[in-house]
Chains A and B, each alone.
Chain A
Amino acid sequence: MKVIATYNIKGGVGKTSTTVNLAYLAAKNSHRTLVWDLDPQGASSYYFRVKPKVKGGSKTLISGKCELNGLIKGTDFDYLDLLPADFSFRNLDLVLDGRKNPTQRLQKLLQPLADEYEYIFLDCPPNISLLSEAIFEATDILLSPLIPTTLSLRTLDQLKAFIKENKNKLKNLELIYFFSMADQRKKMHKEIIASFSKQHPDLLDIIIPYASDIEKMGIKRMPLGAYTQKGRSIEAYRALWEAILKRLI
């Protein structure tokens, strides 16, 4: 079982789109895959047409009284399941805070699923919080989409600094970051990407373009790959998934 969390302190950068599309591609290759929608907004749940509802809400979930397995829903796609969001997840931080070792909690909860799934994607809400710390500890790969704006790039430095501070606990965490929603027609995007790549040699050289077929996911309510086989966008997601797989070996 490998856990992949899409995360950025900043909102609206393409975390959910990345989660949904990569999970779809993993499952498409017959790998047993789970998406855990940790965002109270329930965007990934929405894309998979699953009601954002968890019996007992965040309290029951975090308490571990109810096995995660019983809350999982099969999506419309083979090998791809979803653990839906719930509106009560907005206070996940508080619930976690009430527990001993709150940052180890998610990892504990995921343990029983180790045999069930090869890949578990965590779709995370923005912000840095107790929940994000728990996510980092449970995660093998922290996948961070960046948009080519100076503000967004600053949050990457904050994230790096945080990981460095906690490097004892986060020994196994690998940070992978890449540009998303990049519009190659915009001169500013191009320039920012060029100068940023020079300063950050470990930047993944795969760019998810700003594209209307990706935007359409909201109307179609399904992953990109379920309605498009060709084009720059799906190719970019395929390349991204392959690059991640290489890191996982």
Chain B
Amino acid sequence: MMTKIALSFEFPDNLNVEKFITKLNKKIEYKLVSEHYMQKSFYDSFDWRLYNAHVLCEFNQSKNDSSLILKNSTTADNIALIKIDQVPCFANEFNRSALAYKLANLLEMRALLPLTTLELNVYKLNILNNDQKTVARLIIEDYWQFRCRVTIQPIKGYHKAAVNLHQLLVNSLSLTVIRKPILLAALKLQGRKVNDYSSKLNLQFDPDMPAGKAVKRIYKTLLKTIQINEQGVIDAIDSEFLHDFRVAIRRTRSGLSQLKRIFPSEITTYYSEYFAWLGSITSLTRDMNVYLLNIDAYKSSIPQYMREDLNPLEDFLLVKQKLAQEFLVEKLNSKKYKILLGEWEQYLKQFPAKETSPKKVLTIKQLADTQIWKVYQRVIQEGAVITKNTPAQSLHDLRKTCKKLRYLIEFFQNLYSINKIKALIKSLKGVQEVLGDFQDYEVQEDALRLFSDEMMRQQKVSSSTLLDMGVLVQKLDEKRCKARDEFARFFTEFNNPANKIIFKSLFAANSKKGK
């Protein structure tokens, strides 16, 4: 059985590369293969998709070589490598390769962004046996800002050589094993750390915390998300900035409308209007982004020979998206946007979290229980009356109610048993997805019809493109009907007896008429 050995090491205080190599010389036979200056840049998406999948993306540039490497962040093993002079922004801009494929899976629509660049000298040593065969490689990375690191690259079939080398480094040369990638140290130097952004809400509350204080924390977190994403939205780095920006707006709106009693009503109204406006100025850009993200799926849903004819639609959407983005940027630079967002920030800072009733302070747990229980019951009521013949509008209304419930559960999830909450979210998600599809397909059908009118009016469209769009509308309609048919199954699953019991046990305690 092979023992897994550590592969990365750090120099002790008094050691430098020259001394290290001299010492090594006395112990083993090696050949210095190369020695060069290098710039090493790390890349990831804004929301750390690579790091969270235990992948490091390094762009290494030296005089004669420039390559992008994906590594396993725990074992430091290479996953894939390509020679490339510049790092494209999106996975689909890479030439086809194992690396591109892996990146596409991890990044999806997110841009690959540079995190930090380090300067170093790299030494590559081949460790040789008596036949002058390389039995292991040693990479010495002499960072300008950090201690020198050494990595063993074992060679298949020569495990023992790697083990011996490990022992030599640790025992004779006093190197220490390191398990954290240099990226972490480099980020620390910038005052940053990994996972400093996530679109997921993960708020911790003491159940007895006054509701006002807790709700304020929620809004503050959401405000931060809005602010963090703002520049990415303006620069249109990728579509996910706007997506997360909008989710934070919607969550804020949902909070304002559902957790009413926290703020004075004129305040709630004032900011509700503002966030509604903010939602509305972002929606056109988001719609265009979604159509463009869908274009590949559109293409693959129609016969191969027709796909080319969809290009004019793509061009049309690109023009529209550009206009929408310009409009959005103008709005985000407006006084209204900035002043009110500043006011909101100020208000959250000042708001004294005074409770409406001085006798009994409402706790966050009580508020969460009551509110979730109330909205849950609404979901059940609205869902239970839906049959095959119910008009679409009722499903759309239910979709909104489900979303409200989802946001509430996400705000307060850490107040409850995580396993139970997870199961509830999962089956709620099922209902939301099928309702979301049902609505999305309808919206897309309508939009495609409008687009075709508009394209006709611009007289830039051929009959084959229109034909394609017709086929698309039909395909979307089929999917919409399918989603409609599937609704019952997902709702029944959500409304199963076990879930009912969990909902009741978790949330009904504070409701006098909890049934």
- A binding-site residues for B, Cβ under 8 Å: 48-51, 71-74, 76, 81, 221
Asked if B132 and A74 sit within 8 Å, CB to CB, the answer is no
- Cα A73 to Cα B160 in complex, Å, equals 12
**Partner-contacting stretch, out of B150-158, B189-197, B364-372:** B150-158
Give chain B interface residues in 77-121, CB to chain A under 8 Å. Answer: none
- B binding-site residues for A, Cβ under 8 Å: 126, 131-134, 155-158
- Beyond A49-B131, A49-B133, whether A73 also contacts B126 by CB under 8 A is no
Specify the chain A residue showing the minimal Cβ separation from B154: A74
Other A-B contacts than A73-B155, A81-B157, 8 sampled, CB-CB below 8 A, are A49-B131, A49-B132, A50-B133, A51-B131, A71-B157, A73-B157, A74-B155, A74-B158
12 contacts between A and B (CB under 8 A): A48-B133, A49-B132, A50-B133, A51-B131, A72-B156, A73-B155, A73-B156, A73-B157, A74-B155, A74-B157, A76-B126, A221-B132
- Cα A71 to Cα B156 in complex, Å, equals 9
Q: How many A-B residue pairs have CB under 8 A?
A: 24
Asked if B131 and A74 sit within 8 Å, CB to CB, the answer is no
- Cα A74 to Cα B136 in complex, Å, equals 10
* List of 4 A-B pairs having minimum Cβ-Cβ separation, nearest first: A73-B157, A49-B133, A74-B156, A74-B155
Specify the chain B residue showing the minimal Cβ separation from A46: B131
- Cα A73 to Cα B132 in complex, Å, equals 15
- Cα A73 to Cα B156 in complex, Å, equals 5
- Cα A196 to Cα B133 in complex, Å, equals 42
- Cα A28 to Cα B158 in complex, Å, equals 22
Asked if A76 and B133 sit within 8 Å, CB to CB, the answer is yes
- B134: chain A residues at CB < 8 Å are 76
Specify the chain B residue showing the minimal Cβ separation from A51: B131
- Cα A73 to Cα B133 in complex, Å, equals 11
Specify the chain B residue showing the minimal Cβ separation from A69: B156
Min CB–CB distance A209 → chain B (angstroms): 28
- A221: chain B residues at CB < 8 Å are 131-132
- Cα A50 to Cα B132 in complex, Å, equals 10
- A51: chain B residues at CB < 8 Å are 131
- Cα A71 to Cα B159 in complex, Å, equals 12
Contact of A81 among B126, B131, B132, B156 (CB under 8 A): B156
Min CB–CB distance B27 → chain A (angstroms): 21
- Cα A210 to Cα B257 in complex, Å, equals 87
Give the dominant DSSP class at B's interface: loop
Min CB–CB distance B272 → chain A (angstroms): 57
Min CB–CB distance A32 → chain B (angstroms): 10
- B126: chain A residues at CB < 8 Å are 76
Specify the chain A residue showing the minimal Cβ separation from B78: A78
Give the dominant DSSP class at A's interface: loop
- A74: chain B residues at CB < 8 Å are 155-158
Asked if A73 and B158 sit within 8 Å, CB to CB, the answer is yes
Specify the chain A residue showing the minimal Cβ separation from B157: A73
- Cα A73 to Cα B155 in complex, Å, equals 7
Specify the chain A residue showing the minimal Cβ separation from B126: A76
Asked if A72 and B157 sit within 8 Å, CB to CB, the answer is yes
- Cα A73 to Cα B131 in complex, Å, equals 14
Specify the chain A residue showing the minimal Cβ separation from B156: A74
- B155: chain A residues at CB < 8 Å are 73-74
- B133: chain A residues at CB < 8 Å are 48-50, 76
- B131: chain A residues at CB < 8 Å are 49, 51, 221
Specify the chain B residue showing the minimal Cβ separation from A49: B133
Specify the chain B residue showing the minimal Cβ separation from A71: B157
- B158: chain A residues at CB < 8 Å are 73-74
- A48: chain B residues at CB < 8 Å are 133
Min CB–CB distance A80 → chain B (angstroms): 10
Specify the chain A residue showing the minimal Cβ separation from B80: A30
- Cα A72 to Cα B158 in complex, Å, equals 9
Min CB–CB distance B155 → chain A (angstroms): 4
Min CB–CB distance B60 → chain A (angstroms): 15
- Cα A164 to Cα B158 in complex, Å, equals 43
Specify the chain B residue showing the minimal Cβ separation from A48: B133
Min CB–CB distance A219 → chain B (angstroms): 12
- A76: chain B residues at CB < 8 Å are 126, 133-134
- Cα A76 to Cα B126 in complex, Å, equals 9
- Cα A221 to Cα B132 in complex, Å, equals 10
Min CB–CB distance B18 → chain A (angstroms): 26
- Cα A114 to Cα B40 in complex, Å, equals 34
Specify the chain A residue showing the minimal Cβ separation from B136: A74
- A81: chain B residues at CB < 8 Å are 156-157
- B156: chain A residues at CB < 8 Å are 72-74, 81
- Cα A192 to Cα B158 in complex, Å, equals 47
Min CB–CB distance B482 → chain A (angstroms): 36
- A71: chain B residues at CB < 8 Å are 157
- Cα A49 to Cα B156 in complex, Å, equals 14
Specify the chain A residue showing the minimal Cβ separation from B153: A74
- Cα A164 to Cα B126 in complex, Å, equals 49
- Cα A121 to Cα B132 in complex, Å, equals 24
- Cα A76 to Cα B133 in complex, Å, equals 7
- Cα A49 to Cα B128 in complex, Å, equals 11
- B132: chain A residues at CB < 8 Å are 49, 221
Most buried by B among A48, A71, A76: A76
- Cα A48 to Cα B157 in complex, Å, equals 13
Specify the chain A residue showing the minimal Cβ separation from B132: A49
Min CB–CB distance B154 → chain A (angstroms): 8
Specify the chain B residue showing the minimal Cβ separation from A83: B157
- Cα A71 to Cα B155 in complex, Å, equals 13
Min CB–CB distance A237 → chain B (angstroms): 22
- A50: chain B residues at CB < 8 Å are 133
- Cα A208 to Cα B134 in complex, Å, equals 29
Min CB–CB distance A66 → chain B (angstroms): 13
Specify the chain B residue showing the minimal Cβ separation from A78: B81
Min CB–CB distance B387 → chain A (angstroms): 51
- Cα A221 to Cα B157 in complex, Å, equals 19
- A72: chain B residues at CB < 8 Å are 156-157
- Cα A110 to Cα B158 in complex, Å, equals 21
- Cα A74 to Cα B159 in complex, Å, equals 11
Min CB–CB distance B32 → chain A (angstroms): 15
Specify the chain B residue showing the minimal Cβ separation from A70: B157
Specify the chain B residue showing the minimal Cβ separation from A77: B134
Min CB–CB distance B496 → chain A (angstroms): 41
- Cα A48 to Cα B158 in complex, Å, equals 14
- Cα A214 to Cα B157 in complex, Å, equals 28
Min CB–CB distance B43 → chain A (angstroms): 21
